[in-house]
């Protein structure tokens, strides 16, 4: 895809073509539908409009701190009747990936309780990593004989963990020193979506520490990588990438994900990517970061769809 064939400014005609020629719409959430708790104008109405027109909707997010049920409740609370199976979150995705490879064993998980919920719901055993693993405040050395390492761990999963610590990274890297231990990561986002000057480190920050210490590279499951789309297709085989639209605000994750999987991509400027930054990308060689279409926000997309 050349720069001249992409980044088309969405119009009423384009919008109606997207509606008529596509069956499935994939939405990122943060920066597209909301900057929670602020719900963007037109977001809920757009979701209901597409559903009323018989479209299949999924919500694809790299956020591993919430379960499918958590997200479904959030959508229902704001006025869209979402079912849990419409939520493609990385906690659920991790469990589905382990099922797909017929994994048997125990997992050490750097992550939040949402990860434990989704993994245990599918019958996988977790042997540590969830919640704080503190070191005494006056400690000046690590007593390795007191670590209580599990000899039966055969998978390490790196996700966003607000309780990450030196001890957790040490344990994860030590388990990964065993050659047959599987290494998975929910995503490699460097930072979280934010609306102020505070930098919120993302799951990729934690992953970098573990991978560096272990001298190993993980299989990354979330956007922009293929396992997320593979999981959607395995559960919903009727999803045809050629008749699918991916709507997102980040070119490095959402747009790259959609482009690599063969979908039509729509970038909204309500989140992480500015028009100026998109213009700079047109001069480069990273074609998979360029969207098929771009639009101000979901409200404008809705307006185009509803115009006579």
Distances (CA, A) of 96 to 28, 30, 45, 61, 115: 19, 23, 31, 15, 12
Q: 292: cis peptide before it, omega within 30°?
A: no
Which residue in the list 23, 28, 189, 285 is annotated as catalytic? 28
> Residues 68, 116, 236, CA angle at the centre, nearest 5°?
35
Contact 165, 135 (CB under 8 A): yes
Distances (CA, A) of 269 to 190, 251, 272: 20, 11, 7
Which residue in the list 23, 30, 133, 297 is annotated as catalytic? 30
Residue 28 labeled ligand binder: yes
Nearest to 244 by CA among 236, 92, 89: 236
The verdict on whether 28 is a catalytic residue reads yes
The verdict on whether 30 is a catalytic residue reads yes
Residue 223 labeled ligand binder: yes
Q: Nearest 5°: phi and psi at 175?
A: -60, -40
Annotated binding site: 28, 30, 223, 249
Annotated binding site for Mg(2+): 28, 30, 249
Annotated binding site for substrate: 223
Residues marked as catalytic? 28, 30
């Amino acid at each position: 895809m050349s720069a001249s064939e992409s980044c088309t400014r969405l119009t009423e005609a384009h919008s109606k073509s997207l509606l008529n020629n596509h069956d499935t719409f994939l939405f990122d959430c943060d920066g597209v539908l909301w900057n929670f708790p602020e719900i963007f104008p037109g977001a809920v109405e757009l979701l209901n409009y597409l559903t009323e027109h018989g479209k299949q909707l999924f919500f694809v997010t790299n956020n591993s701190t919430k379960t499918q049920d958590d997200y479904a409740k959030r959508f229902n609370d704001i006025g869209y009747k979402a079912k849990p199976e419409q939520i493609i979150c990385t906690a659920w995705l991790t469990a589905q990936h382990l099922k797909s490879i017929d994994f048997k064993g125990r997992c050490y998980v750097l992550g939040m309780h949402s990860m434990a919920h989704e993994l245990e719901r599918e019958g996988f055993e977790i042997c540590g990593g969830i919640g704080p693993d503190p070191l005494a405040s006056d400690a000046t050395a690590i007593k390795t004989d007191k670590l209580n390492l599990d000899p039966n761990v055969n998978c390490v999963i790196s996700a966003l963990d607000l309780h990450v610590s030196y001890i957790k990274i040490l344990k994860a890297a030590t388990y990964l020193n065993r050659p047959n231990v599987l290494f998975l990561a929910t995503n490699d986002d460097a930072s979280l979506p934010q609306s102020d000057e505070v930098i919120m480190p993302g799951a990729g920050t934690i992953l970098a520490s573990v991978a560096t210490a272990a001298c190993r590279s993980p299989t990354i499951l979330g956007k922009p990588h293929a396992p997320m789309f593979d999981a959607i297709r395995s559960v919903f085989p009727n999803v045809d990438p050629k008749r699918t639209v991916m709507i997102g605000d980040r070119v490095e994750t959402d747009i790259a994900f959609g482009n690599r999987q063969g979908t039509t991509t729509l970038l909204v400027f309500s989140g992480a990517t500015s028009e100026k930054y998109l213009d700079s990308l047109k001069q480069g060689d990273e074609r998979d970061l360029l969207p098929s279409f771009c639009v101000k926000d979901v409200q404008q997309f809705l307006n185009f769809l509803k115009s006579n």
